Amino acid sequence: MASMTLNEYEQKARSTAKYPQDAALLYPTLKLAGEAGEVAEKLGKAMRDRGWMPGQPLSDELKADLIKEVGDVLWYVASVAVDLGSSLEEVAQTNVNKLASRAERGTIHGSGDDR
């Protein structure tokens, strides 16, 4: 499978964006929450219906299903970033910088955005 950069993904994903632009930011944010819930639902149903438990390997089918759902999450993350006037690259770099700062200050554990 060929790899792509976050910017390449963002451009390809955005070419498929079909939602009301007067609802920009709100629509993809709401859908992002729903898609993240679908990832959790897949795992919950695997526990209930397939007997999967944390620590056990994922079946190839479940792994493929989860990858598809995580892809949907990524699509909406890209849309939210663009609607904010940002990019996946900026979001990723900002997050890495934040985590590195927390690690340097020994505040990875704990709670609060500004630790």
Mean pLDDT for 7-21 is 93
pLDDT one-digit tens code per residue, 16-43: 999 998 999 999 999 999 999 999 999 9
| pLDDT reported for residue 113 | 76
pLDDT one-digit tens code per residue, 42-96: 999 999 999 999 999 999 999 999 999 999 999 999 999 999 999 999 999 999 9
Better pLDDT: 33 or 1: 33
Return the exposure string of 21-45: e unless at least 16 CB atoms fall within 10 Å of the residue's CB, then b.
Answer: eeebeebbbebbeebbeebeebbee
Question: Per the CATH hierarchy, to which homologous superfamily does domain 21-104 belong?
Answer: MazG-like (1.10.287.1080)
Per-domain residue ranges of the chain = 21-104
